[in-house]
A and B are shown apart, each in its own frame.
Chain A
Amino acid sequence: MTAIPLSPAASDITAGYLASLRRRRLYSAILLAGFASLFGWSWLVANDRTAGGFLRGLPQVLDYPAELLSEAWESVGALPGMMAAQLPALIETINIAAVSTLLGAGAGGLLALLAAPALTPWPRLVPVVRRILDVTRAIPDIVIALVLIFVLGGGPVPAMLAIAFHTTGALGKLFSEVADNADLKPVEGLSSVGATWLQRMGLAVMPQVAPNWLSYALLRFEINIRASAILGFVGAGGIGSELRNAISWGPGRYDQAAAVFLLLFLTIVVVDQLSGHARDRLIRGTAR
């Protein structure tokens, strides 16, 4: 092959391109190396501060599930009965999730309208409302739940309020992104005929945002079921506290724990599937 002689300008361009390519590759390599060493360091630190350690624990990972499953298998006939006995606790967990999603969606929706500069009746308050949403979103639900358990006593109400608080912030942010993109023409049309703020929001904005809002709320409901199970484990009521009791009984009663595990797993899968279908229909249905 014969090399085609390049004009001086073209070879300059080639050299410049290669230099910038080399520089970019070097930067990416440094970034990658830094990231990899950060990951490795984190792993070592976490491993060091964990009682068992990764390599010691790894062979035992399957011991507990195996024991659980074998005990559950021995009394497989009694399993449906045990699961049925846990149903009230499960209903409580689902109720916590549903009520907190409803309350959080209501408060989040209101705050989202107040946080949209084009829709709010008080534009000056928009930054304030946005900061409120940031803070409600940032506080983990366990913090509020544990403090409220101290004040209100145990039971489902502290968990419900805690999750509703966090849901307000999380949904409020997502809702406000939808509301910001709402078409303002219907709002102007309604205000030109003298509609009040509530009428404008209810008749001009809600029909536009409802599918997306509902879809986000359903997604939150899935997340909140998991959250309410976890909060039950650390002190509020519901299936989480039953799980805690069941696993504290230890060997011989693992079938109980298996029943709770199974019930929780099935609930999460079923709710995820149902809500996934509903969300698909909500979003695709409006695209028609």
Chain B
Amino acid sequence: MTAFASDAARDHAAFRLIRAKRTAAIAAPLLILAYLLYAAVAFDLAGVASRSRADNAVLLLQDFWSYKTHVTRPNRGRDAGEIIAAIEGSRNMTYAEGQLPGWIEPAPGGAVVELQGDVTVRFLPDRVLQVDLPEHAPLRIATTPDAIVLEGWSGPLPDWISASDERVGLTLSHGARVAVTQSKSEVFRRTPGWELFFFTLDSEWYPLSWGERLAAAVTQPGAAASMAHDFWTNKVWHHGDVAWAMVETVLMAFLGTIGAALLALPLAFLSARNFAPNFVARFATRRGYDFLRGVDALIWTVILSRAFGPGPLTGALAILLTDTGSFGKLFSEALENIDGRQVEGVRATGARGILRARWGVIPQVAPVILSQVLYYLESNTRSATVIGAIVGGGIGLLLTQAIVTQQDWEDVAYYIILIVLVVIGMDAISGRLRRRLIKGA
């Protein structure tokens, strides 16, 4: 407390303090606003708005929750004139003869495809495609050797029709599209869900309903194992590989965090004020922690992947090195805050140094240390995703690979859901254990 010479001086000081606080209350938000404005310019927000691709966002969102089936009639090659239905147009997801979904009806010389919104597309003989619209006369798209001809629309073409001699395209409701070129006529239909998520088309379990599958699993010996096998080796979703990638990511976090804790615990004794054998050891270990933390997981990852190659071990070691620094600092602070009397009590029984640490110190710091380790374990599960993307291991790698293709967004959604579930699970487990530890202490 400062003593004031007079009441006037005290009032003066009080008013100055109030004025200063009032200025700060106005200046701080203004400064933050000015900084954000500067950042908006520096980040080129206007440019981002013009560069952003809304169509990409739509595509991505559609792919997250639905899939596209391509119904194709090639005009050339081995399959010319055939109707081929394939999910995402992929060769290994092509429907066989008897497997066609209900909305594709084979017809003489072609097929009838029912789309959402009362639109029907008829593949007619002689390379003609007829599109029946709900409130308009049918459109006919004929492929002639010279050009693609669109008939049935008079007047200027609306937005959803694009027509030239080389290509006629229709964009319909519910994400459906029609595209006709010289080489093929195609209809795309979107269906909600992730098709083939459980069984692929070549699995014997694919055509069955869930009730039939359940009945088979209960009654037929070996059926459940066969289902599990078909699911695990699903060639489209690769559940087995994804599960292993997730395990790798959790392994990275587990090995890195626990390894760092095991290394940091003895080191912390060297750097805690009340245990350090001498000033040099304390100073050296403290600067060592600063170095390990300052280099950061990113640089450790880059350096370590040169020596160990891609894989979860590299990521685990990068986490281990960074967190040895963090843990060393945290643990030594915990050691500095212990109650010395307990150690003295153990010393009075004639215990040597190691025994004093085991029975006098560890019981005091264990709850703090374990709770910090658990917290880091959860947070490192998230970091391991990013590190995996850099070192080439775990779910992070799968995620970046799926995003780079720019079309497997359903895989991206699958991985995101898995990651979030695992992180929330780790969070819940570590939170529960930590609460129990704190309560127990």
Chain B neighbourhood of A264, CB < 8 A: 296, 298-299
> A234 contacts which of B47, B299, B400 (Cβ < 8 Å)?
B400
- Closest CB of chain A to B233's CB: distance in Å? 19
Contact digits for B259-298, partner A, Cβ 8 Å, 1 yes 0 no: 0000000000000000000000000000000100111111
Given contacts A52-B311, A53-B308, is CB(A152)–CB(B297) below 8 Å?
no
Interface check A20, CB cutoff 8 A = no
Tell me which residues across on chain A come within 8 A of B248, comparing CB atoms: 46, 49
Which residue from B45, B53, B302, B420 sits with its C-beta under 8 Å from A135? B420
8 Å CB contact of B303 from A58, A65, A226? A65
The reply to whether B416 and A139 contact each other, CB–CB distance below 8 Å, is: yes
- What is the bound-complex CA distance between A233 and B392, given in angstroms? 13
A146 and B295 alpha carbons, distance in the complex (Å): 24
* Per-residue contact bits, chain A 216-252, to B (CB 8 Å; 1 contact, 0 not): 0000000000100111011000001001000100000
- What 1/0 flags go to A142-157 for Cβ under 8 Å of B? 1100110011110111
Stretch of A92-100, A109-117, A184-192, A278-286 on the interface side: A92-100
Q: Is A134 at the interface (CB under 8 A from chain B)?
A: yes
- CA of A102 to CA of B255 in the docked complex: distance in angstroms? 33
Which chain A residues border B393 with CB–CB below 8 Å?
A: 49-50
Determine the residue in chain B with the shortest Cβ distance to A273. B290
The answer to whether A272 and B293 touch across the interface, beta carbons within 8 angstroms, is yes
Chain B residues, CB < 8 A from A231: 386
State which of A52, A150, A157 has its C-beta within 8 Å of the C-beta of B48.
A157
Residue of B nearest to A59 (CB): B307
A95's partner among B43, B290, B294, B316 (CB-CB below 8 A) is B43
Q: What's the Cα separation between A92 and B39 when bound, in Å?
A: 9
Contact of B56 among A43, A139, A151 (CB under 8 A): A151
CB distance from A80 to the nearest CB of B (A): 19
B386 / chain A contacts, CB cutoff of 8 Å: 140-142, 230-231, 234
> What's the Cα separation between A81 and B126 when bound, in Å?
71
Q: Which residues of A contact B39 (CB under 8 A)?
A: 95, 98-99
Given the interface pairs A50-B309, A99-B36, A134-B427, the reply to whether A143 lies near B258 with Cβ below 8 Å is: no
Chain A, interface SS category: helix
* Contact residues on B (Cβ < 8 Å of other chain), bracket: 35 or more
A17: chain B residues at CB < 8 Å are none
Number of CB contacts from chain A to chain B under 8 A: 176
- In the complex, what residues of B have CB within 8 A of residue A60's CB? 306-307
Evaluate contact between A150 and B406: CB separation under 8 angstroms: yes
B423 contacts partner chain A, Cβ-Cβ < 8 Å: yes
* Residue contact B309 to A146, C-beta cutoff 8 Å: no
Asked if A74 lies at the interface with its beta carbon under 8 angstroms from chain B, I say: no
Once bound together, how far apart are the Cα atoms of A155 and B40, in whole Å? 12
- Complex CA–CA separation, A34 to B79 (angstroms): 60
Please, which residue of chain B has its CB at the minimum distance from the CB of A137?
Answer: B427
Provide the B309-333 mask, 1 if CB < 8 A to any CB of A, else 0: 1111110100000000000000000
Using CB atoms, name the residue of chain B closest to A67. B306
Residue of A nearest to B244 (CB): A49
- With a 10 A CB-CB cut-off, give which of A45, A64, A157, A265 has the most chain B CB atoms: A157
Asked if B258 contacts A140 (CB within 8 A), the reply is no
Write 23 A-B pairs (CB below 8 A) sorted by A numbering: A49-B313, A50-B393, A52-B308, A91-B42, A98-B35, A99-B35, A99-B43, A102-B32, A134-B427, A138-B424, A139-B416, A140-B385, A141-B386, A142-B399, A147-B412, A150-B53, A150-B403, A152-B48, A153-B53, A155-B43, A157-B43, A233-B390, A264-B298
User: Which 10 residue pairs of A and B lie closest in terms of their CB atoms, listed nearest first?
Assistant: A50-B311, A51-B309, A52-B309, A57-B308, A50-B313, A64-B306, A57-B307, A52-B308, A60-B307, A269-B294
Excluding A138-B427, A156-B42, 13 further A-B contacts by CB distance (< 8 Å) are: A46-B255, A46-B313, A50-B393, A63-B306, A92-B42, A138-B420, A141-B386, A142-B386, A151-B57, A152-B53, A157-B43, A233-B390, A268-B294
